[in-house]
Amino acid sequence: MNDAYGISKTNKVRQLREKAHYDRATVHAILDAGLVAHVAFVQEGAPVIVPMIYGRVDETLYLHGARKARVIRLLERSDRACLNVTLLDGIVLARSAFNSSMNYRSVTVFGTPQLVDDHDARIEALRVISEQSMPGRWDELRAPHEREVRMTGVIRLDIESASAKISTGVPDDEDEDYEIPIWAGVLPLESRFTELQGDDRVLDGVTPSSIVQDLQGRKL
């Protein structure tokens, strides 16, 4: 397997090409840092986009929802789908509104969605999705009930092509604008987990496991 995805009409970045990345390591790193993907497909000739949580194993992404949910049924019947994950890292405050922008990491993935029918494969996919947002938590939770598994639809999306786009740095203003007495720079933005908030019905004496405690402060 090549270290980079092939560039085609589908995944080629056309605007700000210098920010484009096609190597698998960069694409995977952004996917692994995200929590929500916006999944796009076509329904009866009209575009549809839905936010969904996901998980990744190698070149496969897993998505889930209620088995009878519209998005699962439509993805099951779709020939193609794409999804995007974007992480904002800061606001770039330039000396003009036109040159102001954002620092970000973004990935767009293209593939063919498939419904996961096999029972054991579905449970494994659900574990992968859980690990994306709650690493280590799956093994300390009760096992899924069979009814829960039956009512859950899981979509497998093999990454057929992908591209990443990363923007970093300070404003790039017009030469004459640097003489204007306006502050410019970057306002960093961080997404991270904060302090735990307990459920009122937690049994007396039960405290968060080390796995849960370690999630506090985790940066995306």
Angle at 158 between CA 157 and CA 162, to 5 degrees: 100
Instruction: Please state the CATH superfamily assignment of the domain spanning residues 17-191 in this structure.
Output: Electron Transport, Fmn-binding Protein; Chain A (2.30.110.10)
- All structural domains of the chain with their residue ranges: 17-191
| Cα distances (Å, whole numbers) of residue 14 to 20, 21, 62, 201 | 9, 12, 28, 53
- Calculate the CA 7 to chain-centre distance: 21
Q: In 19-48, which positions are buried (b, 16+ CB within 10 angstroms) versus exposed (e)?
A: ebbbebebbbebbeebeebebbbeeeeeeb
- Of the candidates 218, 192, 194, 190, which has an alpha carbon nearest to the alpha carbon of residue 89? 190
User: Which tens digits make up the pLDDT trace of 64-103?
Assistant: 999 989 899 989 888 889 999 999 999 999 999 999 999 9
Dihedrals phi, psi of 16, to nearest 5 degrees:
55, 55
Dihedrals phi, psi of 203, to nearest 5 degrees:
-60, 145
Alpha-carbon distance of 4 to 162, in angstroms, equals 9
Angle at 147 between CA 143 and CA 149, to 5 degrees: 60
Scan for tokens 């997404």, then name that residue. Answer: 191
Alpha-carbon distance of 9 to 1, in angstroms, equals 21
Helices (DSSP H) in 50-164: which residue ranges?
70-77, 119-133, 146-150
> For residue 126, what are the β-bridge partners?
none
Q: What is the pLDDT along the chain (220 residues), one digit of tens a residue?
A: 899 999 999 999 999 999 999 999 999 999 999 999 999 988 888 888 999 999 999 999 999 999 989 899 989 888 889 999 999 999 999 999 999 999 999 999 999 999 999 999 999 999 999 999 999 999 999 999 999 999 999 999 999 999 999 999 999 999 999 999 999 999 999 999 999 999 999 999 999 999 999 999 998 8
